[in-house]
Amino acid sequence: MKLGKTSWILLIGGILLIVFVSLGFAGTRQMRQQEKLATDLKVAQQRVANLQLEQLTERQEQLNVKLTEVSADLETAKNKMRQPNESIDVTDSIFQIAESCKVTIEEISSAGLSGKEVAKINCSSQALNLIAYGEVLDLVSFIARLNTDFTTGLVGSVNMDIPEPGEERLPAVRIQLNVYNYQGD
């Protein structure tokens, strides 16, 4: 069978029409997919931004709570140390502790008050040097009580002198006690 010129033109025209319609459908489908992917990308970006914002907001709230706790602790520490020097009768307290521990104080000396910053808090500091005598366990108890009974004091150093067996003297201890008082901002 031989086709004429007109048949060939119609056949080629039909084939081209099928090709163009197929390309049109494929192009439309591709455009829809691109639009869907663009929409999905925007939604994902918004979710990531919201998630990061939520995490940052949550972290900020945690840090604010921590800041409040630390500020309260700082005020508590300041209030413990906020005692005028005149109201602290350190030597009386030391003698009371010594008496309850069955320890004899031989000497208390101090170079006086000095200014000092403790944990970024302005304080006055008084370094006391003590010499005390008693039984070893009583001296240890005395040292421990100095650390615990003075809420604003801290034993800085201890030098214990324990006699050899047969010596006629009591064990002695030299203590450096630092007492701090809050001076204000």
- Mean pLDDT across 122-130: 81
Task: Check if the beta carbon of residue 143 is closer than 8 Å to that of residue 157.
Answer: no
Question: Could you read off the pLDDT of 151-161 as tens digits, one per residue?
Answer: 777 888 999 99
Identify how many contiguous H helices and E strands the chain contains and give both numbers: 3, 4
pLDDT over threshold 70, residue 129: yes
- Per the prediction, the chain carries an average pLDDT of 82
Q: What's the pTM? A: 0.51
* C-beta atoms surrounding 88 within 10 Å: 16
Question: Could you read off the pLDDT of 71-85 as tens digits, one per residue?
Answer: 887 777 666 555 544
Residue 87: what pLDDT?
Answer: 36
Task: Check if the beta carbon of residue 139 is closer than 8 Å to that of residue 174.
Answer: no
